[in-house]
Amino acid sequence: MTQLTVTPDTAGITDVPGFEAAGVACDIRQKNDLKRLDLALIFSLRPCTAAGTFTKNAVKAAPVLLDEKHLAEGGTFHGIIANSGNANACTGAEGLRDAQAMAQRAASSLNQKPLAFFVCSTGRIGQPLPMDRVLKGIENAVSERGRTPAHGKKAADAILTSDTRPKTVTVTFTYDGKKHTVAGFAKGAGMIQPNMATMLAFLATDFSVPRSFLQKTISEAVTGTFNCVTVDGDMSTNDTVLMLANGHSGVSVGDKSPRELRVLFAEAVWKACEVLAEKIVSDGEKITKVVEVRVTGAASAEDAGKVARAIGNSLLVKSSWCGEDPNWGRLASSAGASGAKLIEAKLDILYNDVPAMTAGKPHPELKPKWKEIVKARRFTVTLNLHLGKAAFRLLATDLSEGYVTYNKSE
Amino acid sequence: MTQLTVTPDTAGITDVPGFEAAGVACDIRQKNDLKRLDLALIFSLRPCTAAGTFTKNAVKAAPVLLDEKHLAEGGTFHGIIANSGNANACTGAEGLRDAQAMAQRAASSLNQKPLAFFVCSTGRIGQPLPMDRVLKGIENAVSERGRTPAHGKKAADAILTSDTRPKTVTVTFTYDGKKHTVAGFAKGAGMIQPNMATMLAFLATDFSVPRSFLQKTISEAVTGTFNCVTVDGDMSTNDTVLMLANGHSGVSVGDKSPRELRVLFAEAVWKACEVLAEKIVSDGEKITKVVEVRVTGAASAEDAGKVARAIGNSLLVKSSWCGEDPNWGRLASSAGASGAKLIEAKLDILYNDVPAMTAGKPHPELKPKWKEIVKARRFTVTLNLHLGKAAFRLLATDLSEGYVTYNKSE
């Protein structure tokens, strides 16, 4: 069986043949900072199919509304324009006009149709975009675009907000003697609890992929990866995952492809999303711990998710993780408050593989072991409800004083 | 119409004729602290009817299970034993035996039946009660009990955990030439987002009240007061509100009483709960702001509650309140993420009476006014969804670095 090669820190999008990128500085934050990259371009001269998933927030940013429209009108696509520093959300009709203008400027500069471009924004909500800077930035990005790793890295840098590091991934595999690539980049940090996608993530492949197959593949991957992380339980107005397939390799993958190829492609997309989702959690705003919350034995998948999210979003639980205090009583209380079916007398709680409670009975004698486990930067808590077969895995973070300080004012 | 007299800082329970109280120190926290009061007794020689509401958490503390049983078996009642410093939650069969032993010791010392006593505990979860200390404490409380204001105040002190001050209230009114009293005390601070009751609150009246009427009155009051506050969104395993009616005044109130009397009694109970609920929010762990979140124009009451709770529990919103940053975009995003029906183009957001957004359109010119408003310790944010007539009011707090520090380890 062919193996996937997963490389977590790469140039990202320019690792896919046929994709160009750029990252430029246009001082969208209006702080006289002409060094901070804040506008990214992804461009494929070859027309692409595209698929995407968007925030479920009822308040959607203007670029999300625009991208949903572009995706629905469903022609072929040539690229993505994305800015950081301003979310273009809660900006009314003016915001929608601004998002359209961004697509138009990219299209006219690259001799394509506006419908062939997606637009993404991330940053503060409720402020108009400084459009003179943005449009000039788009022109600069078009001029500076290229296919070298340096270009890919600049694009990955340009979408960051409170992230402390870029987030890229490249997955390759060989099939039928030919090397194929799925690669991408993402940004995360705060307002992270996706209910569809989260944050911004852009992926590309050099396969030729029919649109519906691409959508199914990315949707499944997003459900199992980006939608299973939480930093602060807040779902953004801008969450977007987009994937472009440019067919550069001359090989197609779709419903009628051999099973091995379909599985390999789906695994490559899933793995790329998984790596980016983990990077987002690990770089959550001012976090000190990444905690995998595993819920097993739930009566339903919905219940398993409720318990995991109640724990991963509990302020008391998250604070105790920050303090390296194995306060398992707070896990039990949050699980009980989640609304899921739960019987205390059946409940097991474990830190890694060391029980804190089995069948509702505490094991205080094992406390020294839990205390050691929660000192690690990453550990697992498992709750087995013993009520059924459903399970859920959530990647969560602790909550530090630094998060509050950072978010007191933006 | 008769007026209610509401006094927010009183002796609490001993203001009701016929009720005795005590607060004693028995070092339940096992820190060699023989000064900190940690066990309270409420006692009525005259038999009482009782009503109560309890946590909806699927993981219920042993004393909650015991109290539900005592209430259901429904005889007459003589009092309440309550300790702080240990929640007696997640303590299995041993915990239930301990709660029973507490009721038995109170009963035998006071020559009553165990079923005539309620037991409440609050504090750390998952640790066995030091029963030798607790049982000795109960005996001391029985010996020291009395009806003076000093006795009432000691009882109010003895149930506190991370609270910084006692929480008492006394409501009186005159009807038919006779003065009547509803009074009580409570504790709050952390793990505060009731879904039934919250925390511990004990109320008493000298009316004679049939049990079902008392239950209806307290349930309605709890729904509109204790159930509309949040400090950290965490629902406790121990939330309990209990009310005792001893009939000391010789006057009955029930379904067949004159309307004026029924309304006065219900208002007195509501007001007492409201004052205690406000005290709990104002004394939330390390808070610096109390924010009233008003949601109006919602399509349904459920939607109104969802929006208010999404805002009041959002880490990003709470952090910005702490920083006195009028970041209304985060309010819009949380409202949109709540799952309630919401149309951005209809949404109004106001700080006190100053709009930040009307019909989806931002008013950046008014920013200096919001900035001034959020500097106050208490302010109101209003979201009018313009989709219907349902409304909800939630009393919420900010989130400070101090909360995280405090809860890193207990």
CA A68 to chain centre: 18
Q: In this model, does residue B293 exceed pLDDT 80? A: yes
- Backbone phi, psi, residue B166, to 5°: -70, 160
Residue A325: list chain B partners with CB under 8 A: 408-410
User: For residue B215, what is the enclosing H or E element?
Assistant: helix B211-224
Query: Fold match between A5-282 and A290-408?
Result: no
CB contact under 8 A, A316 and B237: no
The Cα–Cα gap between B195 and A400 comes to 27
Sheet containing B390-397: which strands, arranged edge to edge? Answer: B361-362, B354-358, B348-351, B378-384, B290-298, B390-397
For tokens 């009186």, the residue is: B172
- Do A243 and A222 form a contact (C-beta atoms < 8 A)? no
CA B288 to the chain's CA centroid: 19
For residue B255, give the amino acid letter: D
pLDDT 10s digits, A221-273: 988 888 877 666 666 777 888 899 999 999 999 999 999 999 999 999 999 98
Q: Taking Cα atoms as reference points, which of A262, A90, A243, A285 lies closest to residue A175?
A: A262
For the stretch A193-221, pLDDT in tens is 544 334 788 898 999 999 999 999 999 99
Range B246-250 average pLDDT: 91
Convert the pLDDT of each residue in B335-367 to its tens digit. 988 889 999 899 999 999 999 999 988 898 999
The question of whether A198 is a catalytic residue gets the answer yes
| CB–CB contact A237 B124 (8 Å) | no
CB A58 to CB B340 under 8 A?
yes
ipTM above 0.85, yes or no: no
- pLDDT beyond 50 at B196: no
Per the structure block, which two tokens stand in for B97? 């035996």
Residue B237: pLDDT band (50, 70, 90) is confident
The mean pLDDT value for B92-101 works out to 94
The stretch B143-153 carries a mean pLDDT of: 97
Chain centre distance of CA A388: 30
Mean pLDDT, rounded, for B69-82 = 92
Which tens digit of pLDDT belongs to each residue from A85-95? 998 988 889 99
For residue A87, give the chain B residue with the closest CA. B329
Average pLDDT over residues A159-172: 88
B309-339 pLDDT, tens per residue? Answer: 899 988 889 999 999 988 898 898 889 888 8
Q: Answer yes or no: do A333 and B60 touch at CB < 8 A.
A: no
Q: Which of B55, B170, B198, B397 is catalytic?
A: B198
Q: Is residue B212's pLDDT more than 50? A: yes
| Rounded percentage of chain B residues whose pLDDT exceeds 70 | 95
In angstroms, what separates the C-alpha of A312 from chain B's closest C-alpha? 12
Where would I find the beta strands (DSSP E) of B90-166? 117-122
Give the per-residue pLDDT at B198. 40
Catalytic residue among A181, A198, A205, A237: A198
| Closest listed residue to residue B138, CA positions, set B121, B126, B162 | B121
Q: Report the alpha-carbon distance of residue A127 to residue B52 in Å, rounded.
A: 49
The whole-number pLDDT of residue B248 equals 93
In the numeric block, which tokens belong to residue A106? 């990219």
DSSP string, B342-408: --GGG-EEEETTEEEEETTEE-GGGHHHHHHHTTSSEEEEEEE--S-SEEEEEEEE---HHHHHHHH
Distance from CA of B347 to the nearest CA of A (A): 10
Return the pLDDT at A198: 40
Lowest mean pLDDT segment, chosen from A271-285, B118-132, B233-247: B233-247
Percentage of the residues of chain A whose pLDDT score is greater than 90: 64
Determine contact, residues A408/A372, Cβ cutoff 8 Å. no
Nearest-Cα distance to chain B for A396, in Å, is 14
> Using H for helix, E for strand and C for coil, what is the string for chain A?
CCCCEEECCCCHHHHCCCEEEEEECCCCCCCCCCCCCCEEEEEEEEEEEEEEEECCCCCCCHHHHHHHHHHHHCCCEEEEEEEECECCCCCHHHHHHHHHHHHHHHHHHHCCCHHHEEEEEECCCCCCCCHHHHHHHHHHHHHHCECCHHHHHHHHHHCCCCCCCCEEEEEEEEECCEEEEEEEEEECCCCCCCCCCCCEEEEEECCECCHHHHHHHHHHHHHHCHHHEECCCCCCCCCEEEEEECCCCCCECCCCCCHHHHHHHHHHHHHHHHHHHHHHHHCCCCCCCEEEEEEEEECCHHHHHHHHHHHHCCHHHHHHHHCCCCCHHHHHHHHHHCCCCCCHHHCEEEECCEEEEECCEECHHHHHHHHHHCCCCEEEEEEECCCCCEEEEEEEECCCHHHHHHHHCC
pLDDT of A189 higher than 80: no
Token readout for B123 is: 């504090």
Average pLDDT in the A396-409 region? 86
Q: What is the pTM of this model?
A: 0.80
The amino acid that residue A388 corresponds to is: G
Contact B344 A60 (CB under 8 A): yes
Q: What angle do CA A304, A308, A313 make, to 5 degrees?
A: 150
Of all residues in chain B, the one with the smallest CA distance to A331 is: B125
- Judged by CB atoms closer than 8 Å, whether chains meet at A399 and B315 is answered as yes
What's the confidence (pLDDT) of residue A240? 84
Share of chain B above pLDDT 90, in %: 64
User: Testing the interface with A: which of B97, B295, B351, B408 to mutate, by most A Cβ within 10 A?
Assistant: B408
Q: Positive or negative, the Cα torsion across A278, A283, A285, A290?
A: positive
Residues of B in contact with A197 (CB under 8 A): none
State residue B235's pLDDT score. Answer: 67
* Residue B342 neighbours by CB under 8 Å, 6+ apart: A58, A59, B307, B335, B336, B385, B387
CATH fold, domain A5-282, is: L-amino peptidase D-ALA esterase/amidase (3.60.70)
Task: Look at B232 and A315 and tell me if their CB atoms are within 8 Å.
Answer: yes
For residue A116, what are its two tokens?
């062939």
Measured between beta carbons, the chain A residues lying within 8 angstroms of B285 are: none
Select from B58, B235, B336 the Cβ nearest to the Cβ of A59.
B336
Which of B59, B124, B383 should we substitute to test contact with A (largest number of A Cβ atoms within 10 Å)? B59
Domain ranges of chain B: 5-282, 290-408
CA distance B209 to chain A (A): 32
Q: Which residues contact B185 (CB under 8 A, 6 or more apart)?
A: B12, B13, B152, B155, B156, B159, B166, B167, B168, B169, B201, B202, B276
The neighbour count for residue A124, using CB atoms within 10 Å, is 16
For residue A284, pLDDT over 80 is answered with no
> How many angstroms separate the CA atoms of B231 and B314, rounded?
11
Calculate how close chain A gets to B158, using CA atoms only, in Å.
Answer: 23
Beta carbons of B272 and B280 less than 8 angstroms apart: no
Q: Specify the CATH superfamily of domain B290-408.
A: ArgJ beta chain, C-terminal domain (3.10.20.340)
Residues 6+ apart with CB under 8 A from B367: B326
For residue A57, list chain B residues with Cβ-Cβ distance below 8 A: 333, 336-337
Would the pLDDT of B82 be above 70?
A: yes
Kind plus residue range of the DSSP H or E element containing B321: helix B315-322
Task: Tell me what the mean pLDDT of segment A320-330 comes to.
Answer: 90
Q: Which two tokens stand for residue A73?
A: 């009108």
Indicate the Cα dihedral angle A100, A102, A105, A110, nearest 10°: -110
